Amino acid sequence: MNKTQKTTERRNKIRRRISSTIRGTAERPRLCVYKSNANTYLQIIDDAAGATLAASKAPIGVDNAKKAGEDIAKLAQEKGITKVVFDRSGYKYHGIIKAAADGARSGGLQF
């Protein structure tokens, strides 16, 4: 098992533990962040209905992640969503993940 596999396995273990406690509802949906090598994805999910309410995508980078956070906040407010539960998907809360959260907060979302 190489280092990349170990890191991915560790993140998935953390992600499963987090998702066992965090659930999005219609009143307070879940803001989920995912990073790939090329893009940062943000989704607002209602787990009770199993539906994605809003989504945003931006190229990788801290500045782009902050803009994606502001975009997702704008989309959420158009749908009447002001409060969310933040799901960092097993990533450490720094860099891109922190920038996306700060962007969403500056856009008006509360979590």
Q: DSSP state, 88?
A: -
DSSP string, 5-53: HHHHHHHHHHHHHHHTT----SSS-EEEEEE-SSEEEEEEEETTTTEEE
- pLDDT-based confidence at residue 24 (cuts at 50, 70, 90): confident
Residue 29, both tokens: 């949906």
Multiple choice CATH, 3-106, 3.40.630.10, 3.30.420.100, 3.40.50.2000, 3.40.30.10:
3.30.420.100
Compute the distance between CA of residue 32 and CA of residue 4 in angstroms, rounded to an integer. Answer: 22
- Residues above pLDDT 70, as percent of the chain: 100
Under 8 Å between Cβ of 67 and 79: no
Summarize pLDDT for 39-86 with one digit per residue, the tens. 999 999 998 899 999 999 999 999 999 999 999 999 999 999 999 999
Domain assignments of the chain as residue spans, ordered by start = 3-106
